[in-house]
Structure 1
Amino acid sequence: MGLQSYDYGLRPHDNFTVVREFYLNNNHLEILNRLFTPMIGVNATGLYHYLNQFVKHEEDAVLTHYIIMSELKINLLEFRKEMDLLEGIGLVKTYVNHNEQHSSFVYFLNQPPTAKQFFSDPMLSVYLYSEVSKQRYQQLKHHFETKSSVDLNSYQDVTRTFTDVFKIPNKALAQDTEHIQDDKPYGGIDLTQVHFDFETLYDLLQNHFISSKIVTNDAKALITQIATLYGLTPESMKRIILKSITSAQELSFEELRKHARTYYLMEHEQQLPNLQVKSEKDNVPSKINTSEETSSQSDNWLVQLEQTSPIDMLASWSESEPTTQQKFMVEELIERENLSFGVINILLQFVMLKEDMKLPKTYIFEIASNWKKKGIKTAEQAYEYAMKINQPKKESYPTKNRYKQKQLASREMTPKWLEERDEKPEKDNQQHNDEEDEKLKNDRERFLNQLKNRWKEGE
């Protein structure tokens, strides 16, 4: 999966605003439904349509993510998963403003591309082709082709111009168009974080007496797209460019796309690349130093608790959806006490361990009020305080160093104190078992001896 809800500090009570700076027409809907849905799925395009309803929402009414969760019947992780797809494909831009109380989000709905833009984009067109059959791709392309019903080749354009019909005014009227909305075209897939070594490419072209001037700004954008799509190196790109230069010593974009596609198909058994969503492990940077990795696992656990909704934590911990009453209790707890997610997660886990996995509301609110008075604001502070007030049972709660022994799962929110509360060193367990076996053996022999003595007395 891509980014999680906690990567944005997203919480249910955070408010949001939806902005759309273009007129959404039927052509846009056709593009979304026919071309984008096969690539990113109906849930993502459905979320785009759903967010559109809030564009002209009353300014004095506050919209929170509770509305999205309630109406779409999804949690914040599922919401962020679909938003990742919309953002990655270039249909949505997200902005956030954090403060101490909550975060405010602004979701900009980007204008979908025209059909010509879509099929001219090497990445979008190839990814669509990979998701549908060749016949279906041709059907979709044919659907958006505009054909004139009249052949105008033998006709002459005799349309009057403006100055042919109207007088030009002597005085120009001062124009103030600053606040007039202008449709913003589709910006394409954002590849600003992608690096392609153009300096090496220029050097390679120079060896063939090809000037770097042939690579214009538009050509650089297309080369970056093609290199990203097909995973091409500067050496491979040089070969493709040499085949795409016209007799006028200009670079043909159409030939560039065609030769790049042919090159990739030859290298990959005639299989075009498809659109793949990153998994969670793809988003975790690799770590070379094992000691550094293990030393930070406990901190990662606390950070994870700080950034995960308590409802999501309960669902992941118990491997079942929390009851409606539990959800209402958590929502009330968040709104009433204004504690961070991390503090609430530690609090709920603490109570469940003390109350045999139950969640008594009165007890929870009493502890929450007490922790708030004591100024506990982070998961780490809550953890340390929970350890402190349970000193007699300290052996049931592991120290932070014990967290180093296990790799944290990105979605698994089972607290380490629950996983390890019943653990004992293997050596102690074996010794205990041996002592129990020896005791049982001695007791059995003693009992048999008593029976023998009684039988002798009876004789």
Structure 2
Amino acid sequence: MAQHWTEIVPGDRYAVAMNGMLHDYDRKILTLLYQPLIGPTCLSLYMTLWAEVEDNRLWSTSSSHHSLMNFMGIRLKDIYEARQKLEGIGLLKAFVKNTEEGRAFIYQLHPPLTPEQFFLDGMLNIYLYKKVGKNQYSRLKRFFSDQSQSAQTGYEEITSSFQDVYSSGHNSPNDYIEDLQTDENEQFIGRGEPQAIQINPAAFNFELLEAGLSESLVPKKALTKKVKEAISNLAFLYDIDAIQMKNIVISAVNEDDEIAIDELRKSARDWYQFQHQDQLPSLLDRKQPLQHLSAKSKPQTQEEQLLYYLDTTSPRQLLKDISGGAEPSSGDLKIIEDVMFQQRLLPGVVNVLIQYVLLRTDMKLTKSYVEKISSHWARKKIQTSVAAMTLAKKEHKQYLEWAEGKKANKKPAAKKKTVRTELLPDWFDESKSETTETVDKSKGNEQELSLKMQEFQEMMKKRNGGGSSE
């Protein structure tokens, strides 16, 4: 993950371009439908860039990012992160050009989806429902809808057609033909078409899906481009792999041997809710947010490389890497999902938690143990991987007692011990500073634990192309 200062500096210039006119109604859509998903900082950035463009214009004047920082009262890395979120959700496109004076950016604002497009999107509406809840979601639907004209019965249309009202003259156009032509370097001011979120179909294994589908049940011609796009979105939304998607696709085939997209969405939603106790997915940051990264420079040492990996890898991918590429079990994913949703721990912190628990419990994720530690970290407001490691070292004795099912009867003062400052690979190796009783009980695990850690680091080296030498 690139650091913001390598991508943008306060002196870089930018101009705002509009992909069509935005209207006041768009403000309501952005505020009520998009803001719960992207947050107030992203909305503020979008509104600020919009305000820089004068009415009935498509371009703003050039300005510096330093001015934008002063306008919004936030740091440059917050602007960079908000910009990326706007890009990801389809509200902004960014372009850059290197000049002699430095980098110049164009930020092209795109209109939001219409309420109809949003509520029928199949992804954004699911995330919104999960975010705001049933009652608020129903209120928003009522706010952005009204009675259909078709509900008014008994009326007959009497509208006149064009040819009924107008006739056409046939004068020679030679005198004004040049005036009718448009300049190729100009464009008319109008309304741009909003673009729905589309996950890259290349991210889904369609070859494996097609190999598992019988031609008699699902003809290959049924997998149209539109269907494949829907499958890609649903696979991302509900975290469905090609094997699991097979039955979902089969259930959506209609009597015409076509795949009904509405039925496909319903089947995928039903599958997810069955797997997750009637819950719906939430929209989360894929990796550790920039402001909470622990590695502040290009990783050089083995410890820095591991920190960087934990910060820039999703918890699901971490579990997959630890398992040698095997897909994590649904039970393990459910434990991690609950931690991220209920305790609101960031991905980098969850990765430290996963590694700590696996290395201390013989590579098993025990739900009660994970929840106990995660709730402790949530109360401590842990937001970085380094802070998670430090607290794990400090409370190591307590965590061991939890793992062994013991109750700590000692006073809090007796639990204090020196906090070591070194990072991984031995950040969790705190048993040497514990009492003699704990040392005796855990001594037999140290050699095995050290070997597991070495295996984990070797795996990270291979994954990162051999790593860098210290």
Does TM-score exceed 0.5, indicating one fold? yes
Deviations 1:270-306 (A, max 9, x none): 211101013338999xxxxxxx9637969x99xxxxx
Deviations 1:144-177 (A, max 9, x none): 1231467444333231111121114447966535
Could you tell me which of 257, 263, 275 is aligned with 1:255? 263
Structure 1 portions without partners, runs of 5+: 285-291, 302-407, 411-418, 421-459
Deviations 1:215-235 (A, max 9, x none): 211111111111111111222
What SS is found at the alignment partner of 1:122? coil
Displacement of 1:247 in angstroms is 2.0
Displacement of 1:246 in angstroms is 1.8
Displacement of 1:34 in angstroms is 0.6
Deviations 1:64-104 (A, max 9, x none): 11111112111111111211221111111111112454111
Give the alignment's TM-score, normalised by structure 1.
0.58
Give the whole-Å Cα distance in 1 for the aligned partners of 2:58 and 2:239.
Answer: 47
Give the whole-Å Cα distance in 2 for the aligned partners of 1:176 and 1:194.
Answer: 42
Give the whole-Å Cα distance in 2 for the aligned partners of 1:273 and 1:282.
Answer: 23
Q: Which residue of structure 2 lines up, in the alignment, with residue 18 of structure 1?
A: 16
What one-letter code is carried by the residue in structure 2 that aligns with 1:154? Answer: G
Gap change, CA 1:3 and 1:137, over 3 Å in 2: farther
- The reply to whether residue 267 of structure 1 matches residue 275 of structure 2 is yes
Q: Which residue of structure 1 lines up, in the alignment, with residue 146 of structure 2?
A: 146
Give the whole-Å Cα distance in 1 for the aligned partners of 2:289 and 2:149.
Answer: 54
Give the whole-Å Cα distance in 2 for the aligned partners of 1:195 and 1:83.
Answer: 23
What SS is found at the alignment partner of 2:107? strand
CA contact (8 A) 1:3 1:84 kept: no
Q: Which residue of structure 1 lines up, in the alignment, with residue 243 of structure 2?
A: 235
Q: Which residue of structure 2 lines up, in the alignment, with residue 328 of structure 1?
A: none
What one-letter code is carried by the residue in structure 2 that aligns with 1:76? Answer: L
Gap change, CA 1:214 and 1:136, over 3 Å in 2: same
What one-letter code is carried by the residue in structure 1 that aligns with 2:91? Answer: L
Q: Which residue of structure 1 lines up, in the alignment, with residue 416 of structure 2?
A: none
Give the whole-Å Cα distance in 2 for the aligned partners of 1:217 and 1:94.
Answer: 27
Displacement of 1:252 in angstroms is 1.4
Q: Which residue of structure 1 lines up, in the alignment, with residue 29 of structure 2?
A: 31
- The reply to whether residue 116 of structure 1 matches residue 121 of structure 2 is no
CA contact (8 A) 1:198 1:234 kept: yes
What one-letter code is carried by the residue in structure 1 that aligns with 2:181? Answer: D
Structural mapping, 1:7-406, within 5 Å: 7-8=6-7, 10-56=8-54, 62-148=62-148, 151-170=151-170, 175-177=180-182, 179-192=187-200, 195-280=203-288, 294=301
Structure 2 portions without partners, runs of 5+: 293-298, 309-384, 388-420, 423-470
What one-letter code is carried by the residue in structure 1 that aligns with 2:268? Answer: A
Give the alignment's TM-score, normalised by structure 2.
0.57
Deviations 1:339-385 (A, max 9, x none): xxxxxxxxxxxxxxxxxxxxxxxxxxxxxxxxxxxxxxxxxxxxxxx
Q: Which residue of structure 2 lines up, in the alignment, with residue 432 of structure 1?
A: none
Gap change, CA 1:100 and 1:20, over 3 Å in 2: same
Gap change, CA 1:73 and 1:31, over 3 Å in 2: same
Give the whole-Å Cα distance in 1 for the aligned partners of 2:291 and 2:66.
Answer: 27
Give the whole-Å Cα distance in 2 for the aligned partners of 1:111 and 1:7.
Answer: 29
Deviations 1:404-459 (A, max 9, x none): xxxx989xxxxxxxx99xxxxxxxxxxxxxxxxxxxxxxxxxxxxxxxxxxxxxxx
What SS is found at the alignment partner of 1:108? strand
Gap change, CA 1:259 and 1:112, over 3 Å in 2: same
Give the whole-Å Cα distance in 2 for the aligned partners of 1:140 and 1:161.
Answer: 37
Gap change, CA 1:85 and 1:121, over 3 Å in 2: same
What SS is found at the alignment partner of 1:16? strand
RMSD: 3.5
CA contact (8 A) 1:93 1:109 kept: yes
Q: Which residue of structure 1 lines up, in the alignment, with residue 328 of structure 2?
A: none
What one-letter code is carried by the residue in structure 2 that aligns with 1:277? Answer: D
CA contact (8 A) 2:248 2:264 kept: yes
CA contact (8 A) 1:21 1:181 kept: no
Gap change, CA 1:66 and 1:239, over 3 Å in 2: same
Deviations 1:176-207 (A, max 9, x none): 35522342211122523851122222222235
What SS is found at the alignment partner of 1:254? helix
Displacement of 1:59 in angstroms is 8.2
Deviations 1:4-28 (A, max 9, x none): 42242x1111111001122211221
Give the whole-Å Cα distance in 1 for the aligned partners of 2:169 and 2:52.
Answer: 43
Q: Which residue of structure 2 lines up, in the alignment, with residue 5 of structure 1?
A: 4
Deviations 1:227-250 (A, max 9, x none): 111111222222112111222222
What SS is found at the alignment partner of 2:105? strand
Stretch moving more, 174-183 or 89-98: 174-183
CA contact (8 A) 1:90 1:190 kept: no
CA contact (8 A) 1:11 1:65 kept: yes
Percent identical residues: 29
Give the whole-Å Cα distance in 1 for the aligned partners of 2:101 and 2:171.
Answer: 55
CA contact (8 A) 2:213 2:246 kept: yes
Give the whole-Å Cα distance in 2 for the aligned partners of 1:96 and 1:136.
Answer: 40
Deviations 1:94-115 (A, max 9, x none): 1111245411111011110001
CA contact (8 A) 1:90 1:110 kept: yes
What one-letter code is carried by the residue in structure 2 that aligns with 1:195? Answer: A
CA contact (8 A) 1:206 1:212 kept: no
Gap change, CA 1:155 and 1:44, over 3 Å in 2: same
Give the whole-Å Cα distance in 1 for the aligned partners of 2:188 and 2:172.
Answer: 19
Gap change, CA 1:39 and 1:66, over 3 Å in 2: same
Stretch moving more, 29-38 or 182-191: 182-191
Deviations 1:301-350 (A, max 9, x none): 9xxxxxxxxxxxxxxxxxxxxxxxxxxxxxxxxxxxxxxxxxxxxxxxxx
Task: Identify which of structures 1 and 2 has the higher relative contact order when contacts are C-alpha pairs closer than 8 Å and 6+ apart.
Answer: 1
Deviations 1:17-44 (A, max 9, x none): 0011222112211110110111111121
CA contact (8 A) 2:22 2:191 kept: no
Larger Cα-atom Rg: 1
